[in-house]
């Protein structure tokens, strides 16, 4: 199978994730889109590792997974806390931190 | 070079001479109010005790042969850095002991007098503490065995002088006078510190013994430079031209201060410095000539100013300048004059202290009025003050057998031996001394009473008159004693060297001429100020009188040459600072501030727009990479 297909798939997934982040208001959905982008990047890493015949890309993919897991822990905690105080998971409403 | 004798017996107490008044100053200044009641008496006692030790040392010194009268005492190494070493070490020799006795004995008398003069002052304790500090610093100055330690004493007396001139600091004029004295002295002090550095570079040491031992190996240019720097230092401390203008303002201080610091001791430190460094001035001829010129100019300036001032203390201050001009002139004459400079310094210390304390006693009885035009006919109500003042007056104008006669005539003889011009100038200045001192005595004690309505002149208490009497006795007999009995010339010979004066004419010719000139000056003053009525308001006067009242425009010259240029330079720098430096700094801050005011509008708080700009940025980066790759 042509390895470039994996890269194309990765680009498609990444774009879907990016558009999801931009257009959705629910913080959980935005978060899922971010995960999608991260995993698209992982897919690209693994594909390139396969194409180049060394393990560097796969190692980086593990690192990305670790970071993503940590990020999920912290991010979900923040979202839950905000939901508890504001009764809303909309990403547009908390806008106090501005000029 | 004379060998240093170990300090044994009474001479092991050299450090105690300084430590006693220093301890007195520390106790009085740090002790606070609990020392108020007994502090002043302690202040008198410490100085008197130093005086007793000084007398014992003189007696001990006289038992040794002249070559064995230099005693050294090293307490500890004070500064040690590389090849530079300065010890906390003292040297007591024939020259130092004269100063020690002058400082402590006249100092004791003035301390006692101050008990009466300052009796009603709230800050009496502070006064005596600072006076003790002065005595300690002055003793350190004359006992140091190296220039660096001398410099400590030099600065110490400057500090004490500053504190005491502005003792009545609630008066703005006194505070300003203190600052003026301190700042002008600073100019001289720079000269001294540069001289010390130059000595260390040239000779590798700042000790008296080391420097004088190898002074003749240095080039004449270096020695001249050191000599001129030392002269600058002496000009500052001794109020010599061109640094003379602080002394007249220094009269703002209490009168005992004027007597002790600004007449008898501190202002003669410059003479001490030159005589102590005689080896350098003997080797550097042009520096010595500069010393003579400065001395002559100041001798005349002081006398002219003293002739026109109506303020009794300022007139006396002019006289002090003039007499120190005599000493400086004598010190510039070389080995022939060093002894006479010190001789005149000693007699002047006694009679001028008497004159100042007498003036203080007059002021005490006249509600602290200093205007001689408001005195007159005081001889009847202040018998002791008038009597002692007149004795000291006869001493300063040089009437035999009072002590000023001997010392001043010696200086005039030595001047004639060097050059008739110097001699004639010194002789004419003696005539002028006769004029201004007679004017002072006539306006104060003779003529008609011109007292203000609320003035009730009275004689001062005994605690003030007894020191006056002792000083008057000193002014009568000291000269004779030092010429016929003590022979000051052979006493100082090991330190300064001596040359016999050989004159073209017999010495009585010079003495008689001087005496006649003095009497002419005195007669003119007597006719003008005792026979005729003295107007209460000062008349307009000739241009010379007006110039002398303005202190020969010394302040104006300083103002034009130093103060105004400094003022305008700092105005220019302030302008440059405000417009240039601050303009640049403030301008860049305003630019950044304005720019961020615009940029902060992009911080909307809308998270998805941040995400959009990040994606946009990422797309731009990718596009740029693609474009670069394709080209």
pLDDT tens readout for residues A40-97: 999 999 999 988 888 999 999 999 999 999 999 999 999 999 999 988 888 888 888 8
ipTM, two decimals, is 0.86
Is residue B187 within 8 A of residue B236, CB to CB? The reply is: yes
pLDDT tens-place string over residues B322-337: 999 999 999 999 888 8
Residue range B119-127: average pLDDT? 88
Q: Is the backbone peptide bond immediately before B401 cis, with ω within 30 degrees of 0?
A: yes
| Buried residues in B160-176 as b, exposed as e (16+ CB within 10 A) | bbbbbbbbbeeeeebbe
Phi and psi at B76, nearest 5°, equal -165, 165
pLDDT digits (tens, 9 = 90+) for B427-447: 999 999 999 999 999 999 988
DSSP per residue over B349-396, as a string?
A: HHHHHHHHHHHHHHHHHTTT--BGGG---TTTT-HHHHHHHHHHHHHH
**Letter string b/e over residues B122-142, b meaning 16 or more CB atoms within 10 A of that residue's CB:** eebbbbbbbbbbbbbbbbbbb
Buried b or exposed e, range B15-35, using 16+ CB within 10 angstroms: bebbbbbbebbebbbeeeeeb
So what's the pLDDT on residue B606? 86
Nearest CA-CA distance, residue A50 and chain B, Å: 23
- Report the pLDDT value the prediction gives residue B96, as an integer from 0 to 100: 92
Looking at residue B205, its pLDDT comes to 87
Region for B81 from its dihedrals, namely left if φ exceeds 0, alpha if ψ lies in -120 to 50, beta otherwise: beta
> Who's near A66: CB < 8 A, 6+ residues apart?
none
Q: Cβ B615–A22 below 8 Å, yes or no?
A: yes
Maximal C-alpha separation, chain B: 120
Between B37-41, B319-323, B536-540, the lowest mean confidence (pLDDT) is in B536-540
- Cα B287 to Cα A59, B170, B324: the distances in Å are 89, 43, 18
Query: Which residues in chain B are contacts of A18 at CB distance < 8 A?
Result: 615
How many angstroms separate the CA atoms of B499 and B332, rounded?
14
The helix (run of H) or strand (run of E) holding residue B480 is helix B462-480
d(Cα B312, Cα B323) in Å, to the nearest integer?
A: 16
* Minimal C-alpha gap between B607 and chain A (Å): 7
Dig out the tokens for B169 from the structure: 């600091």
- In this structure, chain B runs to a length of 631
Predicted pLDDT at B2: 62
Task: Name which of A22, A25, A96 is nearest B605 (Cβ-Cβ).
Answer: A96
> Mean pLDDT over residues B461-484, rounded?
91
Give the position of tokens 């004693």: B481
Tell me what the mean pLDDT of segment B605-613 comes to.
88
Residue B583 scores a pLDDT above 70: yes
Residues of A with CB under 8 A from a CB of B: 18, 21-22, 25, 91-92, 94-99
Which residues in chain B touch residue A94, judged by CB atoms under 8 angstroms apart?
607
B611 touches chain A (CB under 8 A): yes
| Chain A contact for B603 (CB, 8 A cutoff) | yes
pLDDT bucket at A1, cuts 50 / 70 / 90 = low
> Across chain B, what does the average pLDDT equal?
90
Percentage of chain B lying above the pLDDT 70 cut: 100
Mutate to test the interface with B, among A94, A95, A99 (most CBs of B within 10 A): A99
Looking at residue B214, its pLDDT comes to 86
- pTM over 0.90? The answer is no
pLDDT tens-place string over residues B404-419: 899 998 899 899 888 8
Band (pLDDT 50/70/90 cuts) for residue B232 is very high
| pLDDT value of position B365 | 87
* Contact between chains at B603 and A22 (C-beta distance less than 8 A): no
DSSP state of B4: P
Query: Are the CB atoms for B30 and B242 separated by under 8 Å?
Result: no
Q: Closest-CA residue in chain B for A22?
A: B608
Q: Which residues pair with B84 in a beta bridge?
A: B81
Q: Per-residue pLDDT tens for B345-396? A: 999 999 999 999 999 999 988 888 888 888 888 888 889 999 999 999 999 9
What are the residue ranges of helices labelled H in B168-252? Answer: 172-203, 208-214, 220-237, 246-249
Contact B606 A99 (CB under 8 A): no
Cis geometry, peptide bond prior to residue B242 (ω within 30 degrees of 0):
yes
Q: Does the structure show a pLDDT above 80 at B425?
A: yes
């Amino acid at each position: 199978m042509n390895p470039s297909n994996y890269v194309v798939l990765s680009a498609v997934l990444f774009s879907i994730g990016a558009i999801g982040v931009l257009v959705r208001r629910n913080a959980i959905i935005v978060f899922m889109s971010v995960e999608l982008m991260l995993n698209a990047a992982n897919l690209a890493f693994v594909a390139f590792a396969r194409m180049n015949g060394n393990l560097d890309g796969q190692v980086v993919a593990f690192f990305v997974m670790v970071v993503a897991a940590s990020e999920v822990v912290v991010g979900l905690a923040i979202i839950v806390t905000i939901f508890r105080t504001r009764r809303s998971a909309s990403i547009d409403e908390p806008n106090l931190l501005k000029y | 070079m004379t060998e240093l004798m170990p300090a044994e017996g009474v001479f092991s107490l050299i450090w105690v001479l300084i430590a006693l008044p220093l301890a007195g100053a520390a106790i009085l200044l740090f002790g606070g109010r609990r020392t108020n009641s007994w502090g002043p008496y302690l202040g008198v006692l410490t100085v008197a005790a130093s005086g007793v030790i000084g007398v014992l040392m003189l007696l001990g010194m006289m038992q040794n042969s002249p070559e064995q009268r230099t005693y050294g005492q090293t307490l500890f190494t004070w500064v040690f850095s590389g090849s530079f070493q300065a010890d906390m070490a003292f040297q007591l020799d024939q020259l130092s002991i004269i100063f020690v006795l002058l400082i402590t004995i006249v100092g004791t008398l003035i301390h006692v007098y101050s008990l009466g003069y300052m009796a009603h002052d709230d800050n009496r304790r502070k006064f005596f503490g600072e006076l003790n500090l002065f005595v300690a610093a002055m003793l350190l100055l004359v006992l140091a065995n190296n220039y660096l330690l001398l410099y400590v004493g030099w600065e110490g007396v400057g500090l004490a002088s500053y504190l005491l001139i502005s003792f009545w600091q609630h008066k703005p004029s006194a505070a300003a006078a203190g600052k003026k004295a301190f700042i002008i002295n600073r100019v001289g002090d720079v000269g001294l510190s540069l001289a010390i550095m130059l000595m260390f570079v040239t000779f590798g040491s700042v000790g008296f013994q080391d420097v004088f031992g190898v002074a003749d190996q240095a080039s004449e240019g270096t020695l001249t430079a050191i000599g001129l720097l030392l002269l600058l230092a002496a000009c500052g401390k001794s109020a010599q031209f061109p640094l003379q203008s602080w002394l007249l303002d220094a009269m703002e201080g209490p009168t005992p201060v004027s007597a002790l610091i600004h007449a008898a001791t501190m202002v003669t430190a410059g003479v001490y410095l030159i005589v102590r460094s005689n080896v350098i001035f003997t080797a550097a001829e042009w520096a010595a000539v500069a010393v003579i010129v400065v001395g002559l100019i100041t001798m005349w300036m002081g006398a002219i100013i003293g002739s026109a001032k109506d303020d009794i203390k300022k007139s006396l201050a002019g006289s002090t300048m003039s007499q120190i001009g005599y000493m400086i002139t004598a010190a510039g004459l070389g080995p022939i004059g060093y002894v006479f400079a010190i001789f005149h310094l000693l007699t002047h210390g006694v009679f001028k202290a008497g004159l100042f304390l007498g003036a203080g006693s007059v002021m005490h009885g006249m509600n602290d009025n200093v205007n001689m035009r408001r005195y007159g006919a005081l001889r009847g109500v202040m018998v002791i003050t008038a009597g002692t003042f007149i004795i000291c007056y006869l001493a300063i104008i040089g009437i035999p057998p009072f002590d000023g006669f001997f010392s001043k005539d010696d200086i005039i003889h030595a001047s004639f031996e060097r050059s008739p011009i110097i001699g004639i100038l010194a002789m004419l200045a003696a005539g002028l001394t006769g004029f201004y001192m007679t004017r002072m005595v006539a306006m104060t004690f003779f003529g008609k009473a011109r007292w203000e309505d609320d003035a009730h002149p009275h004689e001062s208490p005994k605690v003030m008159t007894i020191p006056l009497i002792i000083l008057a006795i000193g002014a009568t007999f000291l000269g004779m004693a030092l010429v016929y009995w003590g022979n000051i010339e052979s006493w100082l010979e090991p330190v300064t060297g001596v040359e016999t004066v050989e004159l073209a004419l017999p010495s009585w010719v010079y003495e008689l001429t001087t005496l006649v000139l003095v009497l002419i000056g005195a007669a003119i003053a007597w006719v003008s100020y005792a026979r005729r009525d003295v107007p209460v308001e000062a008349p307009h006067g000739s241009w010379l009188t007006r110039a002398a009242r303005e202190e020969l425009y010394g302040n104006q010259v300083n103002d034009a040459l130093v103060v105004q240029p400094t003022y305008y330079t700092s105005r220019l720098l302030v302008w440059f600072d405000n417009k240039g430096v601050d303009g640049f700094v403030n301008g860049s801050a305003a630019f950044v501030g304005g720019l961020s005011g615009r940029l902060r509008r992009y911080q909307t708080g809308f998270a998805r727009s941040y995400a959009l700009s990040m994606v946009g940025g990422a797309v731009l980066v990718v596009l740029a990479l693609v474009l670069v790759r394709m080209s």
